[in-house]
Amino acid sequence: MEMMINGLNSLESEQFKDRQLFISFLRKRIESGTGSSIESLREENSEERLFYLGAYYVTTTKKALCEALDIPIEAACRYKRAREKDGVLKQSEEDVICPVTRHPARLISTNPKEFKKLHNSNQLKIFTT
């Protein structure tokens, strides 16, 4: 029984490391795209604008974006809905496995160059492999 618990803890530990690496990757992509640190972006922009900017530079799940930018998921739901109504945010038609939650979720983006990919299920395969 102890071995099983240790094995589970080891698996959870590896998943946590993978999750942290992915969040770090997202932060670096956003910082690279904007030319500013996440901290600077947070100081210079509203949380809603930060969400928009993050979704412009990375196409990922809402939960992953929230983790990378330290935005409460409840607030992100409002931001996402508002940007969808404005026509500046699109989500994928099909689910992918979220790298943070390990559950099915949709990808989101505010970058018009990504919109076509989000609506083409074959393109989504690049995000899930």
pLDDT tens series, the chain, 129 aa: 444 445 546 656 666 688 899 999 999 999 999 999 999 999 999 999 999 999 999 999 999 999 999 999 999 999 999 999 999 999 999 999 999 999 999 999 999 999 999 887 554 554 543
> Two tokens at 96?
């992918």
Give 64-84 pLDDT, tens digit per residue: 999 999 999 999 999 999 999
Is the Cβ–Cβ distance between 63 and 54 less than 8 Å?
A: no
Please, which residues have CB within 8 angstroms of residue 44's CB and are 6 or more apart in sequence? 36
Per 3-state DSSP, what percentage of the chain is helix, strand, and coil (rounded to 5)?
A: 70, 10, 25
What pLDDT was estimated at residue 17?
A: 82
What pLDDT was estimated at residue 11?
A: 58
| Topology of the domain covering 2-128 | Arc Repressor Mutant, subunit A (1.10.10)
Please, which residues have CB within 8 angstroms of residue 36's CB and are 6 or more apart in sequence? 44
What pLDDT was estimated at residue 9?
A: 60
In terms of Cα–Cα distance, which of 58, 59, 40, 41 is closest to 50? 41
Tell me the residue type at 70.
D
User: pTM here?
Assistant: 0.82
